Chains A and B, each alone.
Chain A
Amino acid sequence: MQSNSSMRTPLGRVRGLGSAKSGTGHFWLQRVTAVANVVLTVIFVFIVVALVGKPYPAAIALLSHPLVAILMLLFILSACIHMRLGMQVIIEDYVHEEGMKILAVMANTFFAIAVGAASVYAVLKLSFGG
């Protein structure tokens, strides 16, 4: 038992911290984005299907419509958060060596943010007039 020089009690210091050091935050955000994704995925599929066979000007007109663009942005945001959390669970389940695990989880975060940033950039560029 470590001596406690802090004002905080041992229980107070660990309360809410699971082995992942973030309690149920990960689990909950995974569920919240999952619920959002059900709605946004259906909308995304409708948008993509509507774009099939459209020539460039018509496709751009649809993608840059404010409602379509906002829904696309929400889909990108929710999907990227969800997939980052999901892949992190997979990494933590299969990569056991600590150094590799930390690198993989970090690379996972970089990947999700890079994909999200590129997609958001593209949608905003289209929306604000190419």
Chain B
Amino acid sequence: MSVAHRVTGTGLYLGTVLIAAWLVAAASGPAAFDTAQWIAGSILGRLVLFLYSFSLMHHMVGGLRHFVWDMGKGYEPQTRMAMAKFTLVISVALTILIWVVVLATR
């Protein structure tokens, strides 16, 4: 899970280039924005967005565990396992929730 935190963190790090590019496209005018939206809506674009949203949720929920550890709690083996499972279940649930809302509102 510690490695997962680093992997998702690195994914989010690299993905900020795409967020910056998307924002710059929006600021550049309708043509650039439409191109960016077309890329984001393509199959590859959606795959990247899906992985990005999952990484974001996983890194966020995984980070909550670090707050618990920072307070000097949750170091027992059972608690650590429970928090690892919690991270996975909640991050998957949040990712699904995001995409259900996206697909329902588009």
User: Are A38 and B27 touching (Cβ within 8 A)?
Assistant: no
| A contact residues around B12 at 8 Å (CB) | 83
In the assembled complex, A53 has its CB within 8 A of some CB on chain B: yes
Nearest-CB residue, chain B, relative to A93: B6
In the assembled complex, A49 has its CB within 8 A of some CB on chain B: yes
Identify the B interface with A (CB < 8 A).
Answer: 6, 9-10, 12-13, 16-17, 19-21, 23-24, 26-27, 29-30, 33-34, 53, 56, 60, 63-64, 66-67, 70, 98, 101-102, 105-106
Name the contact of A52 in the complex, choosing from B17, B24, B30, B102 (C-beta under 8 A). Answer: B102
- In the bound assembly, the distance between CA atoms of A49 and B6 in angstroms comes to 26
Identify the A interface with B (CB < 8 A).
Answer: 31, 34-35, 37-38, 41, 45, 49, 52-53, 56, 59-60, 63, 79-80, 83, 86-87, 90, 115, 118-119, 121-123, 125-126, 130
A34 and B33 contact, Cβ closer than 8 Å, known pairs A41-B56, A49-B98, A118-B20: no
Task: Return B1 CB to nearest CB of chain A, in Å.
Answer: 15
User: Are A45 and B98 touching (Cβ within 8 A)?
Assistant: yes
| B contact residues around A125 at 8 Å (CB) | 27
Name the contact of A45 in the complex, choosing from B16, B33, B56 (C-beta under 8 A). Answer: B56
15 contacts between A and B (CB under 8 A): A35-B67, A37-B60, A38-B64, A56-B30, A59-B33, A60-B33, A87-B9, A90-B9, A90-B10, A115-B17, A118-B23, A118-B24, A119-B16, A122-B26, A125-B27
User: Are B98 and A83 touching (Cβ within 8 A)?
Assistant: no
